[in-house]
């Protein structure tokens, strides 16, 4: 058929149709967002407040976490009921067992004096415990699925990437291209920014080294005051201790199996320790204070 120029009314009608279609589509999308948010394993009070991007981000992160749990070595299988309790004892201890065993994770989290997190090889938080708000004032929802490098002091990016076994990615403006070997010895004042790339930084990747990790980095904290004179204000020093989780993978073209790192599972403590501030003094104790060079600056009379 011959195409003729649509008239003014026709054009208007078409516009209105598309507007309606868009509105209806948006409505359907919003409904799905809402549904998706409800499926997230978070309290309803939180999920109802989430913006759309966060809903997607948390969903993605949750699915990654499932893969992390099931495909890594050893796989994190759920605890079976009759595993380790003998039948005799079971009845008498069932209550305590129920109370604690089932919610072991929650109790552990509450008892710890730090927070826990999992970082993927892409440098994203796959999981971070809600207790991070106690120590850093950051929100679990905001951090889950985000890049760790957004929350670590820029000067510590290189170290973090190294520990994870990934290559730090430099912005083009920085103008320097670092070989993986020299990345570790780069000055801390480098203009690193942007998302680091996944991938092993050296031929013998992180999987060949012992999985244990222990290092110190500075993370953003809303609890420290941002002062003009303090260089690292707004950051807290974190002692990270944990392990790299790997999964077995077959080398293509051979029967050899290698271990590919999936991410880091770690415990984080703020320094100086924030939990207990009071020490009980006996009668045979006295207090003295020293400088960093062990020079006594104050001593009690007794």
Partner 1 sequence: QQAKMKCFREPHRQIEKRRRDKMNNLIDELSAMIPACQPMARKLDKLTVLRKAVQHLKALKAGASGAFADAKHKPSILPHDDLRHLLLRAADGFLLVVRCDRAKILFISESVSKILNFSKLELTGQSLFDFIHPKDIHKVKEQLSSSEMPPQQRLVDASTGVQVQAEAPARPSHLATGARRSFFCRMKHSRVTGKHEGKHSLPAASKKKETYRYCTLHCTGYMRTWPSGQLDPEGDAVDKEMPSLNCLVTVCRLHPHVSHQPLNDVNVKATEFVTRCAIDGKFTFVDQQATTVIGYLPQEVLGTSCYEYFHQDDLQHMARKHRQVLRSKEKIETQCYKFKTKHGPYVTLQSQWFSFTNPWTKEVEFIVSSNRVISGPGHTKDENEAGSSKSTQEEAQQIPEIPGLSTGVGTMIYAASIGTQIANELSDTYRANSSPSSGASSPFGSVQEKCPLTSRRVSCLTATEDQFLKFFPVRCPPGEPSQLDLDLPGLSSFSSDEAAMAAIMNLLETDVNMSQSGDFEDLHWPF
Q: Which of 14, 17, 19, 289 binds partner 1 (CB under 8 A)?
A: 289
Q: Can residue 157 be called a binding residue for partner 1 (CB under 8 A)? A: no
6 lies in the binding site for partner 1 (CB under 8 A): no
CB of 6 to partner 1, least distance (A): 26
Three-class DSSP category at 65: helix
Which of 15, 17, 89, 171 touches partner 1 (CB under 8 A)?
A: 89
> Within 13 Å, how many C-alpha atoms sit on residue 294's CB side?
0
Pairing mode, if any, of strands 212-220 and 257-271?
unpaired
Pick the stretch among 2-10, 22-30, 165-173, 222-230 that binds partner 1 (CB under 8 A). 22-30
Nearest to 120 by CA among 88, 152, 160, 82: 160
Give the tokens for residue 43: 């309290």
Q: Per rule CB under 8 A, is residue 92 in the interface with partner 1?
A: yes
275 binds partner 1 (CB under 8 A): yes
Query: How far apart, in whole angstroms, are the C-alpha atoms of residue 106 and residue 110?
Result: 6
Residues 243-272 that bind partner 1 (CB under 8 A): 243, 245, 265-267, 272
Least spacing, CB of residue 94 vs partner 1, in Å? 9
Return d(Cα 51, Cα 38) in angstroms, integer: 13
Tell whether residue 232 is a contact of partner 1 (CB under 8 A). no
Q: How far apart are CA 163 and CA 244, in angstroms?
A: 9
CA nearest neighbour of 152 among 288, 29, 268, 13: 268
Figure out which of the listed residues 62, 139, 218, 224 binds partner 1, where binding follows CB under 8 A: 62
- 33: contact with partner 1 by CB under 8 A: yes
Closest CB 80 distance from partner 1, rounded Å: 9
The DSSP annotation for 232-258 comes to TTTEEEEEEEEEEEEEEEEPTTSS-EE
Going along 193-234, which residue ranges are E strands? 212-220
Q: Does 71 bind partner 1 (CB under 8 A)?
A: no
Stretch that binds partner 1, among 4-12, 14-22, 94-102, 224-232 (CB under 8 A): 94-102
Binders of partner 1 among residues 126 to 155 (CB under 8 A) are: 127, 130, 140, 144
Stretch of 7-15, 208-216, 222-230, 249-257 contacting partner 1, by CB under 8 A: 208-216
Residue 162 as a binder of partner 1 (CB under 8 A): the answer is: yes
Neighbouring residues of 151: CB distance < 8 A, sequence distance ≥ 6: 138, 143, 219, 220
Per CB under 8 A, contacts with partner 1 among 178-197 are 184-185
> Among residues 13 and 99, whose Cβ is nearest to partner 1?
99
Nearest C-alpha neighbor of 134 from the set 119, 151, 115 = 115
| Cα 14 to Cα 199: distance, rounded to the nearest angstrom | 50
By beta-carbon proximity to partner 1, the closer residue of 6 and 214 is 214
The nearest distance, CB 79 to partner 1, in angstroms, is 6
């Amino acid at each position: 058929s011959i195409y003729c120029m649509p008239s003014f009314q026709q054009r208007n009608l078409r516009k209105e149709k598309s507007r309606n279609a868009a509105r209806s589509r948006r409505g359907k999308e919003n409904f799905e967002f809402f549904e998706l948010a409800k499926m997230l394993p978070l309290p309803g009070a939180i999920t109802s407040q989430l913006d759309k991007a966060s809903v997607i981000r948390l969903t993605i992160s949750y699915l990654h976490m499932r893969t992390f749990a099931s495909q890594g070595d050893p796989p994190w299988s759920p605890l079976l009921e009759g595993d380790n309790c003998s039948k005799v004892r079971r009845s008498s201890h069932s209550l305590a067992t129920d109370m604690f065993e089932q919610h072991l994770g929650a109790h552990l989290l509450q008892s710890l004096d730090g927070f826990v997190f999992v970082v993927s090889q892409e440098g994203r938080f796959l999981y971070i415990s809600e207790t991070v708000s106690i120590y850093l004032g950051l929100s679990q929802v905001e951090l889950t699925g985000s890049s760790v490098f957004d929350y670590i002091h820029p000067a510590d990016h290189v170290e973090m990437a190294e520990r994870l076994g990934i290559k730090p990615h430099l912005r083009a403006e920085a103008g320097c291209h670092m070989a993986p070997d020299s990345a570790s010895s780069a000055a801390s004042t480098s203009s690193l920014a942007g998302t680091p790339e996944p991938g092993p930084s050296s031929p013998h990747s992180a999987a060949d080294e012992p999985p244990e990790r222990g290092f110190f980095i500075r993370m953003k904290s809303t609890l420290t005051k941002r002062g003009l004179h303090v260089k690292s204000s707004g950051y807290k020093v974190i002692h990270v201790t944990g392990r790299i989780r790997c999964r077995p993978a077959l080398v293509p073209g051979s029967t050899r199996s290698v271990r590919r790192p999936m991410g880091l599972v770690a415990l984080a403590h703020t320094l100086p320790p924030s939990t207990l501030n009071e020490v009980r003094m006996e009668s045979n104790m006295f207090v003295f204070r020293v400088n960093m060079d062990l020079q006594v600056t104050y001593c009690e009379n007794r």
